[in-house]
Amino acid sequence: MTKPEDFIEERLEKLGQATAQVVPDDGFDRWIVDAAQRESAARWLVVPWRVGGVALAVGALAAAASIVLALQTQSDLDEELVVASDWVEIGHEHTGA
């Protein structure tokens, strides 16, 4: 019984022999490098727009959350001031001031 590794090695050997005469055309390496550089340059133009859009959305959500929090805090403060004012009035009624 052969091991799976032996089968893989045998297949790779056959593939290597079958493709030994296959070679890239002249300029193929340059074509690959040029394509990679074009992709890289295009990515530099696209990435800031994607990141900027996400940052804008996150910033808008953070701003909305801070407004809601500020309004809630102001409402709580107003309620506490009313309660404190009522206590002051009750105190003045009992002291006769």
Span 35-45, pLDDT tens digits: 877 766 556 66
Integer Cα distance of 69 and 63 in angstroms: 10
Residue 97 pLDDT: 56
**pTM of full prediction above 0.75:** no
CA dihedral 41, 46, 48, 51 (to 10 degrees): -140
Integer Cα distance of 67 and 19 in angstroms: 67
